Structure 1
Amino acid sequence: MRKREMRTFNITKLQARDATDQQPPKVTGYAAVFNSKTSIGDYFEEVIEPGAFSRTLSENQDIRALFNHNWDHVLGRTKSGTLRLEEDERGLRFEIELPNTSLGRDLAESMQRGDINQCSFGFYIEEGKEMWDYTADPALRTILEVELYEISIVSIPAYEETEASLVRSKQLDSEVEQRINIIKKINHALSIK
């Protein structure tokens, strides 16, 4: 069963460019960084492997950029060319041409002031596209491949948003906790013998 998940990160090397010469303002940065451990609500740590987005970027030609994961606030779209995504050696790089709307102008102003500087992405993981190491404390999840459906510019700090994402996915928390308890019992039984 596929589960919808979201992760939030600080936008690395964020740049917001003013509209000049009749060009719309652009936002660039990294929506995800490879090989960087991220704590997911003190339940487990997570690492995204290089190449995790390559299949979805080559196959899915309709990924959206949103504001705060709100599908009513579309900032750009790969299908229209206003959102560009690519993997490089660092991670998932993006560029958004902001719309000339009240949302686009307000977001550009908030970013220029430094009030908003985080990014998030929404994804699915197919079975077999992740690895778990329950011997690590906390457990370590390695994401090998995702099906990306959106990236978002967000106003909530990374740690708080990560917690909020986990609240929306209580089933994942429960599964991880059950697996950790099983591993602890096995390790305890092995140490007795």
Structure 2
Amino acid sequence: MTGNVISGYAVMFNSETVIAGEFRERIAQGAFTRTLKDMPDVVAILSHDSGRVLGRVSAGTLTLREDRIGLWFSLDADPSTPEGQTAIGTVGRQDVKGCSFGFQVRAEDWQDGGNRLPLRTITDVDLYEITLTAFPAYESTSAALTRAEHNATAATERIRRRAEAAQRLRGIR
């Protein structure tokens, strides 16, 4: 593997967007804390298409981390697959530079918008997927390519992630 790493923010906290012209929405800091603690087998895909898998947590090819800014990801894209080639090419050229995510809301708060649309603040989610997309609902998201072909640190990190993922699958924490 050549170490084509795509990383960025699949979610930026407290960034507002309008959903279907009906309401404003934002994701609160900490909305992913519970789901990441349990670390479900989240996948990375292209344009919400489950047939175009790019990586997954259990395989050690997708890393997710919540920080004060948002939900950060690192994806080790495989250039030997058509999906990996597409992701590397389109993100590398910045034709695709945003993200989205597939989730189920566990907890939310609503505020009357007054003269504006109502505001939904999502405070807890079950996360299923992150996706690279040309048309993100949240324009503040990001995705960029880093080639780490000769970076021993990146290779070591990938090996560590795969070993940790294998341990999690066996119930070892």
Q: TM-score range by the shorter chain?
A: 0.7 to 0.9
Contact 2:17-2:138 within 8 A present in 1 as well: no
Q: Is 1:132 matched up with 2:107?
A: no
Is there any run of 5+ residues in structure 2 with no aligned partner, and where?
A: 140-173
Q: Among residues 63, 70, 92, which one is paired with 1:91 in the alignment?
A: 70
Structure 1 portions without partners, runs of 5+ = 1-21, 162-193
1:65-144 equivalent positions in 2, closer than 5 A: 65-99=44-78, 100-126=80-106, 129-136=107-114, 137-144=116-123
User: What count of residue pairs does the alignment treat as equivalent?
Assistant: 137
Structure 2 Cα separation of the partners of residues 160 and 112 of structure 1:
20
Alpha-carbon distance, 1:160 to partner? 10
Q: Distance in 1 between matches of 2:119 and 2:62?
A: 31
Answer 1 or 2: which has greater helix percent.
1
Alignment correspondent of 2:136: 158
**Who wins on radius of gyration, i.e. which is larger?**
1
Structure 1 length-normalised TM: 0.66
- After superposition, the C-alpha distances for 1:2-31 in whole angstroms (9 at most, x for unaligned) are xxxxxxxxxxxxxxxxxxxx5320100000
User: Residue 154 and residue 135 in structure 1: after superposition, are their counterparts in 2 closer, same or farther (change >3 A)?
Assistant: closer
Taking every aligned residue pair, what percent have the same amino acid on both sides? 39
**TM-score under structure 2 length normalisation:** 0.74
Per the alignment, residue 8 of structure 1 pairs with: none
How far is 1:151 from its partner?
A: 0.3
State the shift of 1:47 in Å: 1.4
Q: 1:33 to 1:108 in 2, by over 3 A?
A: same
CA RMSD of aligned residues (A): 1.8
* Bigger relative contact order, structure 1 or 2 (CA pairs below 8 A, ≥6 apart): 2
Between Structure 1 and Structure 2, the one with more strand by share is 2
